[in-house]
Structure 1
Amino acid sequence: MPAIHGDPAHLVQGWTWSVAGQLHMRRLKIAEQVASRLLSEMPALQQMGGDATRYYVERDVAWVLEHLSQAIALTDPILFHDHIAWAKSMMVARGLKRANLKRTLELIAEVLDEDLSPAIYSSTITMIEDALQRLDTRTEEPPGVLNEPGLHADCARDYTEALLAGNAQAARRLVREKVRIGTPVADILLHVIEPAQVEVGRLWQINRIDVAQEHFATAVSQDLMSELTGCVRTNGDSGTVVSACVEGELHDTGLQVVNALLQLNGWATHYLGANTPKLAIQMAVRRVQPEVLALSVTTPYLAWRLPDIIAGLRSDPMTAGVKVLVGGYPFHVSPSLAKWIGADGTARNAEDAVLLAGNFARV
């Protein structure tokens, strides 16, 4: 698990000359070398993917290197191992062999040994070797959540089926009928829309649906969330919150659920949305003066942006007192990561986020 290693501002200042920083900066060059060797060894890959194969191989290797560098920077190997497990499930679902991923990791190790300093190589090889050992032990297909019993589970399944069928009208009817019969909006968000989106993401990962279906489902769900919360009026008695995804983070559905639930619980909400630059976040906090800042990131290789944002807030007398709540997939994998980067807390789901924000506001 991550260890506490001093002030986050100092950690970020040392980023460019750290081991992780060197690996990050050289990732594209390394990815080119790995792709060249892999495709020369496995010409069948080129035949399968056509002219775009090299681009996709270089992109995927660069992602592996990003996760590797962030696992080093954040001192938590599980962030890298979990990405490799995800990549394996993606590849197997798309008809690629597990051996392709294994050989890719082996070639990454070879290139690192040749291209980088002993300090970098020694910091990376243990994680790569551990990942190679885990390739044969991790489950290839993540389990679904909609088959589990739960509140409004039947509606969640029907709603998901409507989304996957491309039937936005049917999906909206299901949700509006729930509203008509008096189902609390919070229940619809937490037990219908949110699990449906989790299942959509899972189905895309295992190649049961394509990107267009995933985008369609997300767009319908986001529209419905806006509709459900659009008429909610709050006086902000619970507090004020600014919510944002860090720069580069394009997936904001989870944060929208949190923001909507906060609004329903009496919070005055200022939602900045996806891909928000650091300076914009800091300026919004200075202007709004919220009790809580909620930050979301879904991929570990973007988590390194968070310490810099938090350190900047702490160093400004106008924003030093804001409580920072972080969430997203990296914190599910490694909850103690939140403390390590300087945040005040993290929550595994939207309900916990509302409870924790309330605790912050009462401090």
Structure 2
Amino acid sequence: MVEVKQFDEQGVVSLLKRLVETPSPSGYTERVMDVIQAELNDIGTTFKKTNKGALIATVKGKDDSRHRLLTAHVDTLGAMVKEVKSDGRLKLAMIGGFNWNAVEGEYCQIHTASGKDIRGTILMHQTTVHVYRNAGTAERNADNIEVRIDEKVKNAKETRALGIEVGDFVSFDARFETTDNGFVKSRHLDDKASTALLIDLLRNVTENNIELPNTTHFYISNNEEIGYGGNSNIPEQTVEYIAVDMGAIGDGQTSDEYTVSICAKDSSGPYHYGLTRHLTNLCETSSIPFKLDIYPYYGSDASAAIRAGFDVRHALFGPGIESSHALERTHTDSLQATAQLLYAYVTSDMMD
């Protein structure tokens, strides 16, 4: 039986709160990567920064000829200013795959090129029921959704005078909350929950001088939501590539908020059978609660690496996340199970 580490619930949840409350839509991730870099410096681990802005920390193992790589991503869904409208409000262009109704009514920030952040609210143009007969039935789309800016503006000229322009990034408020019975609710748990778990694992391994059987890379990527986060800078000695990302919950799925979810297949095709079986065996022998699942409309950094041509065994697991790409929720039970599988995996012998 593989040893199962204790779960630092307070540390993980505290870091997760800081991460989700740091704006990081894909393409605008410098702030959150600064948070990650500060964590890595505090741990005292060796790391490098890629040209795309990702961070890769490395722990040398007993076997330095065959490497493992684990990745999680800190980029999130978001938007960009598509148009400054004649009335001073903003049209948006999506970053990542979400439905407009998932962000309707959300508070947001517009990040201007000058570095100033301006508050706003994402609304339907036809929101006022006392004016618009079709307020409830109008289509939620890019033509009808807009940002109401929290400034005294009445036209495009006054909005532009604030420094707002086409191409500025827009981030959605996280609304982070925990409950006494263990639920964690927030936007952007995908994939900042997994990122917090990877940092916790790296801290545990480094501070306790745990010798890993194989050199292991901890890859924090920043472009996953747009399809090319972890598809470069993979050391040539890498044999196994694990994407630590959310489990999707819904009708026909086995994943839940209380176990670690292991993905057998997503829209890119099946994950490596042998490596997936290795993960399920670790769960079974160490009594880690898990669910196997297939995600029909899903892709990961591991599948991006395969499409890029890397010759690696790839697999995917992570905490179960309810209502993905909307107002998400998980439970500390799922975070704990994922932490246990992470530790069991990096301390296990590599497959032949």
TM-score (normalised: structure 1)? 0.30
Structure with the largest fraction of helix? 1
TM-score (normalised: structure 2)? 0.30
Structure with the largest fraction of strand? 2
Could you say which structure has the greater relative contact order, defined with CA pairs below 8 angstroms and 6 or more residues apart? 2
